[in-house]
Structure 1
């Protein structure tokens, strides 16, 4: 049993042996929070976990004869403002000409096996889970609030969302509605999040909680390069592999806020949801508003334990079912090879040369449509440019197929160029006020809050998929939304625009992925500007960053791994000097970084030397041999590039029989220590492991406690014996467990 109920005490305990979440109905009918953390043994009554503080002169209280019952000091499940609680609420909803002081009281509950879908929204799914829905009512508003809690059978994961139904005859206006709210009993946490900007996304940032509000957010119409919708609260003593961590991820791809408010009693309230700024939803009679889902992970094994729980959940319970075990093809993208300057003959030569290397998918990027010779025109005109491809896309697709490669295309369906046939025909389809529009990358945004525009894009894309038998689509979004105004929404509905926009994006994804389940979608937003679980529900991988520099990618991929599986990260070997940093790194290091992702290439194979071609052939064979391990294995972070001149990580198979270890040193250091080892994680302590290229065998406990011996580094005089040196070093080790006979031989 995953959900225990006490009808007499009106208490609810979600527990699976890994995590417990406990709440109850308080005497005023609101829900009180009792506990969230490591699994507790169930007992008949948890009332003692909620304490009623001695009232102070400054406190307001609900009951005249009970000054200790103040919502200002009580931990709550889904608080509202104004009923003696002055902290920021989870919900604010009201009627015209009435104050927004909702008073939702407990009505009933029901338990469902499995996890129901969220209508129109991406969300996790599972049959091995239980869900409890708590129904609360506000008689004045004539509204029903449903709180959804799902606990997974085998993961330290609870998901939450909320829905509001207007069962009255008057319109309601929602101006704040969070997906989840959690009241913690203290503030002894480190606020850990992923922030950055274009080409340096998801850098790890930490700060200690202090009194006041600490938040991350986006108002860009996308989850953004700048703040990922992920937040971890880790205990002060927690490390990468030890201690308590509470992780939160918002399954949403538009404006969001994740906030922790520390009050004057040093307690902490976390809220996660759609950003309330500019949000105002008109809830008509009999309509329902559903919030996006919040994923909550508990770990008592540090940040890495939290990450592994997120990875497992997203691999098994979020990405499209077809892609859970399907091998992702190794691709080559023509963008950095040709930019806009190509024709069919050039592309076919690139594809043929790439196929000879062992690459499996050729992707034609920007520039194939309209009159697109630079980034100033043609977005929205999704018909082939016959001056570049006079035989059409179908011919190129067939020739690519005849070479033995799959064929993929780049689209930017959410955008429109002012210099386009589509804009000249439908200028009102662009987002923006009639008197003002800000440009970004010479383009405007299509109004996806309008179903007719979504229908238009669906037909355009579906026709091309059928015509070319596409295997892959890179869905890009290269600018954020400004002047958020729809010419079709009424003036009192403009506050609904951002949410309606992303619902339109989700609906197009839903239609395309349902009709073409075998097409691999890779999401992109100027690189990593919309890398979030909302996108991952439709597109099992995302272009991690436009920055393909191997050294910068150490930080980007390390940070991304806090919440997202490495097999969701588009990671490619690109040309040097790198097009984003002008840094020149060895081909070996570029591949050693890119292996820990979906793997591919962003270069012109026609310009490679024979030596480089042979090296790339070896890289591709290596990746093909290990991509099942990379897809399904447990990921461990070993050395942080944010703290060291080195970085390291590893993937261990579920049965601990094999592992892949990546080690990187950014800059050379003079006269390095003679003994250099890397301590590993996740191995079987009693198993013996061989290391490819090494005739020795090592026990798992030795590799984790003493470490794996790194190749000898150049120290200024040992040139003949040194195995590595210089800047931008890297090495990937393959470990496998060995049988008794082989072990005895190697350990003699």
Structure 2
């Protein structure tokens, strides 16, 4: 038994992103081992070339021992030989949920995929791409499985490419991106649900036999009811710092489906991909169907490590300008709603400078003339400036912003249309609607048909025209409020392809936008967190977590998002929602990308002074918040205090946020909060930030503490009814 020599960059350098070992076992079996820094996924082509998963978990010190793992499991009989298939096909021997189902050109519904070959491509010192070719021995049908590994972050992306050379078309009934197979003593699912203003509500339950499906059929804003992210704990529910857990997320902005099946051997199958609901896909000979990537990371030391893995991966490899800067803004929405004119906006631009932020964002209501956009019932789709509100156009606002030494951004919702609009009157065939059914509206609007290339040109043109007229435009807030009712395209030949072609159309538009305007920051907005996913974040710098900006609610919402998305992507605005002080509201919003949506002129003197000083402080500490490691210290769902720490990579500086989340009598931080991630041998100084004018800190900034003390005993931020929000800066004493 011989193993190929592992690849190394050099004798002293790090191991490359993926270690690939291929072995011949009994001259028949082929083992393929993917190793990242901490984990291993081991696939095996058996003597009949069935490609199965024989291990996924913490990597072993000796790769030769992976092939010994199956012999240590004495479970019941496995009748099919493909229960643990790496990509389960249907219609042949499989008895469980498939990853792929097809109808061949001759009408046969069976598929049998066998291993042919595999290869490895090194993309960098950290990243490698494994491809495995599977073919049906009877039909000229092929699936290539791709595994992209990120060694340092213990992250894998997995997708499939499906093609055939049959004489006629093949119908793809199901076409998953990934098919994982896990073994453990038990499994727990942490999933999320929500609605408008109630995003990211967690639910954890033990997984029982049968299939649990997480999915959406909304067409556009996928996440409003069911986000595509989830966690699977193995053997016991994982905590922040203990337990084995897998984080999963489909990188797709449309209809998704994740099937989680506990089989009769008590093993777990996870199959994730595009939702095949109403979407059988006709694949022509030699055409390739590429699925979106399924993203996952695995930790044997709790949720915190998995979360930081995903954050690091996102900043380094996925989020647009993930390691860059962001603009702090003032938005006019809650100040004016639709009721504004040029004079009002000029005053708000002066307030932007007065507040001390970088950019003024003009929200909804600036466009349409025949059907003026004075509410959400008209004008959407007619993207010329409203002459009554803006007689001198958007360009006058851009110039005024420049004279105030701030930048200017603008809101658009280019994928949608109001029936009461010129666009709808002129191009009724551009709208997603069934020709013989009554129109049904979501927020008084319908969705434009992005399967139509002419509509794609129009949507791109909305963005392009704004930049042509206003080259100094510095920010786009891209909204997407409607879902798809009565799905139908007037120009698409095969309506079964509608949901898939809609997303392809959207991505084509975004590719064009980024090809021409690669660096302009853009926010993903969708009536809240309805469209955040890692496919969209290739084109956007940030997302809007929720329209619910009550700071107490936001602590809970932002907490859950933070497991999957780094702080630099989370747009958090200070508004008038809630009854908390301006300090509490601002402190909560600082745990991400800070913004304001308030009437600056209505602020009391000390409130304004507080905000101005808080922005200056934020500009100093934001690199730690955006680019540092995040540690959850006290869960708001488990006690009266919520606490979060951001720590730089050298463990020399950190920012700790603590809040009172229970207003009952005498509640507060009665126990010290144990910090994490510090260097036990270093000494640290702690001082309070964002102190409200006229008040004094109760924190003695002259004392020093070892990292050992702060992590094992902890530090009390002294949160109580009189100090409901406390921000602390932790610095190494040198």
Whether the TM-score (by the shorter chain) exceeds 0.5 is yes
Q: Secondary structure at the match of 1:533?
A: coil
Residues 308, 630 of structure 2: 8 Å contact kept: yes
Q: Do the aligned partners of residues 97 and 438 (structure 1) sit closer, same or farther apart at CA in structure 2, a change above 3 Å counting?
A: farther
Q: Pick from 604, 607, 610: which aligns with 1:612?
A: 607
Q: Do the aligned partners of residues 113 and 712 (structure 1) sit closer, same or farther apart at CA in structure 2, a change above 3 Å counting?
A: closer
Partner of 2:14: none
CA distance in 2, matches of 1:668, 1:305: 31
CA distance in 1, matches of 2:483, 2:313: 29
CA distance in 2, matches of 1:712, 1:632: 26
Cα drift, residue 54 of structure 1: 9.1
Q: Pick from 453, 456, 461: which aligns with 1:454?
A: 456
Partner of 1:635: 630
Cα drift, residue 458 of structure 1: 1.1
CA distance in 1, matches of 2:459, 2:418: 15
Pair 1:5 & 2:11 matched: no
Q: Secondary structure at the match of 2:375?
A: coil
Cα drift, residue 136 of structure 1: 1.2
Partner of 1:149: 147
Structure 1: unaligned runs, 5 residues or longer: 60-67, 115-125, 715-723, 740-748
Q: Pick from 605, 613, 618: which aligns with 1:623?
A: 618
TM-score (norm 2): 0.92
Q: Secondary structure at the match of 1:637?
A: strand
Residues 164, 290 of structure 1: 8 Å contact kept: yes
Q: Which moved more, 1:631-640 or 1:2-11?
A: 2-11
Pair 1:399 & 2:400 matched: yes
**1:303-382 alignment runs, 5 A limit:** 303-320=303-320, 323-370=321-368, 371-382=372-383
Cα drift, residue 324 of structure 1: 2.9
Pair 1:648 & 2:643 matched: yes
Cα drift, residue 139 of structure 1: 4.5
Cα drift, residue 479 of structure 1: 1.4
**Cα deviation digits, residues 601-629 of structure 1 (max 9, x gap):** 01111222222211110110111011111
CA distance in 1, matches of 2:620, 2:189: 39
Q: Which moved more, 1:636-645 or 1:171-180?
A: 636-645
Residues 641, 719 of structure 2: 8 Å contact kept: no
Residues 528, 544 of structure 1: 8 Å contact kept: yes
Q: Secondary structure at the match of 2:143?
A: strand
CA distance in 1, matches of 2:215, 2:72: 33
For these two proteins, the number of residue pairs brought into alignment is 695
Partner of 1:482: 485
**1:212-611 alignment runs, 5 A limit:** 212-221=210-219, 222-235=221-234, 236=236, 238-320=238-320, 323-370=321-368, 371-436=372-437, 437-468=439-470, 469-490=472-493, 493-575=494-576, 578=577, 583-611=578-606
CA distance in 2, matches of 1:255, 1:237: 29
Residues 180, 269 of structure 2: 8 Å contact kept: yes
**Cα deviation digits, residues 72-106 of structure 1 (max 9, x gap):** 6x411001123332111000012255232111111
**Cα deviation digits, residues 5-47 of structure 1 (max 9, x gap):** 2255311111133111110112332211111111123434643
Q: Secondary structure at the match of 1:200?
A: coil
Q: Secondary structure at the match of 1:682?
A: coil
Residues 179, 272 of structure 2: 8 Å contact kept: yes
Pair 1:94 & 2:96 matched: no
Cα drift, residue 71 of structure 1: 3.2
Partner of 2:703: 696
CA distance in 1, matches of 2:666, 2:395: 59
Residues 687, 737 of structure 1: 8 Å contact kept: yes
Partner of 2:112: 103
Q: Secondary structure at the match of 1:213?
A: strand
Q: Do the aligned partners of residues 673 and 144 (structure 1) sit closer, same or farther apart at CA in structure 2, a change above 3 Å counting?
A: closer
**1:187-198 alignment runs, 5 A limit:** 188-198=186-196
CA distance in 2, matches of 1:453, 1:316: 33
Cα drift, residue 540 of structure 1: 2.0
Q: Pick from 718, 721, 725: which aligns with 1:711?
A: 718
Structure 2: unaligned runs, 5 residues or longer: 1-6, 8-18, 689-700
CA distance in 1, matches of 2:607, 2:64: 68
Q: Do the aligned partners of residues 679 and 47 (structure 1) sit closer, same or farther apart at CA in structure 2, a change above 3 Å counting?
A: closer
CA distance in 1, matches of 2:600, 2:670: 40
Cα drift, residue 288 of structure 1: 0.3
Cα drift, residue 325 of structure 1: 3.1
CA distance in 2, matches of 1:448, 1:712: 51
